[in-house]
Amino acid sequence: MSRQVIHTENAPAAIGTYSQAILVGDTLYLSGQIGLDPYSMELVEGIEAQIRRVFDNLKAVCEAAGGTLADIAKLNIFLTDLSHFQLVNQIMGEYFAQPYPARAALGVASLPKGALVEMDGVVIIHQ
């Protein structure tokens, strides 16, 4: 089965040795997204803005592969402060409808570029 690199200018360019996403068959593997603005490549200010930017970045990559956020089967959330978990839930409710994806939320010591939140996931693209 072939692997297809997914790239969009509407999400931050990869800043290392990885791709924004890889599509294998109908399964899209999303790399972690932090709250970088895709045009300035600067981290947006504050936890709420970062959470929204991460969801917008994930959405852009899903759309570049022919999917939507609703196609995410598994979402992984990494937070440097788990007290922000309720805010993630609240904002996630603005981006997703039932049935919600399977999800894990983990507290981590630090994230790239000093980000407060990072998310990655697995998407099933319905073609």
Give the CATH number of the domain where residue 14 resides: 3.30.1330.40
Rounded CA separation 59/41 (Å): 17
Please state the φ and ψ torsions of residue 122, each to the nearest 5 degrees: -125, 130
Rounded CA separation 77/26 (Å): 23
Q: Which domain holds residue 18?
A: 3-124
> The whole model's pTM is what?
0.97
Q: Is the peptide bond before 101 cis (omega within 30 degrees of 0)?
A: no
Quick count: other Cβ atoms within 10 Å of Cβ 90? 11
**pLDDT tens readout for residues 105-118:** 999 999 999 999 99
**pLDDT tens readout for residues 76-106:** 999 999 999 999 999 999 999 999 999 999 9
When divided into structural domains, the chain yields a total of 1
**pLDDT tens readout for residues 42-52:** 999 999 999 99
